[in-house]
Amino acid sequence: MSYKVYINGEFFDKENAKISVYDHGLLYGDGVFEGMRSYNGKVFRHEEHIDRLYKSAKAIHLTIPMTQEEMMRAVNDTLAINGLKDAYIRLVVSRGVGTLGIDPNRCPTAQVIIITDMISLYPQELYENGLGIATASTIRNPASSLSPRIKSLNYLNNIMAKLEGLQAGCSEALMLNHQGQVCECTGDNIFIVQDGTLLTPSPDCGILEGITRGAVLDLAREHGIPCKECVLTRHDVYIADECFLTGSAAEIIPVTQIDARPIGDGKPGPITQKLIALFKELIA
């Protein structure tokens, strides 16, 4: 099926949804984005996603030419025109069309693009049996260089780490920060379980504070699962009882192997399975 794409207030068939080659999002990765999910016709944590988008834009001095309320309506309208209730949403705001050269002032108006489609990040058997990940030598961009809280269009850092994972025969790769601490995976946040406690890297480690990550922490606290945001090392992951990843596209997926080492007994653990069940109830 060919879905319609929203571009600056108009809808275009997927085949005709085009942008200028002079758009600075294409030329320089100058822009921000959000990846969201809708379940039963409702965008999951819609306001949180839109709020993060506008904060990312503000951080790079990018003015979005519509209010947050108008943006939310545009997302809902795009889902509606495509007849989608359960979907993946990619919302992109680029610096817009300008002249050659990185000067943002050469782009008079930002460009807003909303794509609604289906996504299957991993095959179903990996959700049932767990996936293997590998540690990448590519480190996460230091926060002193580019804040990880900005969800920018420039994903080359993540892509280089992703390539390392794929070359190691893994679907995902673990990224460390410049201090050698566990940061996040190329597209997902990471959690481990040690002695019944849920652990995940703290924001100070240089992570993007994922919306699904926040939902999982909320679920754990609501259901009496001890949880803590802290500094983790690869050693902590190696000796963990359980491990899983979270993200808007991935949702919650178990990890049962890292760097060819089994995690726990090599199967998705009980706390992971409980949180997956609770998440499914949340989005039902």
Q: So which residues are the catalytic ones? A: 151
d(CA 242, CA 249): 21
Element (H, E) at 127: helix 124-129
Q: Virtual CA dihedral for 266, 269, 275, 281, nearest 10 degrees?
A: 90
Which position has the token pair 């566990």?
182
Q: Which of 13, 85, 34 is nearest to 247 (CA)?
A: 34
**Helices and strands in the chain: count of H runs, count of E runs:** 8, 15
Residue showing tokens 């050469």:
106
Q: Report the alpha-carbon distance of residue 134 to residue 171 in Å, rounded.
A: 9
**Rounded CA gap, 209 and 270, in Å?**
25
**Phi and psi at residue 115, to the nearest 5°:** -110, 130
- In the chain, the amino acid numbered 190 is I
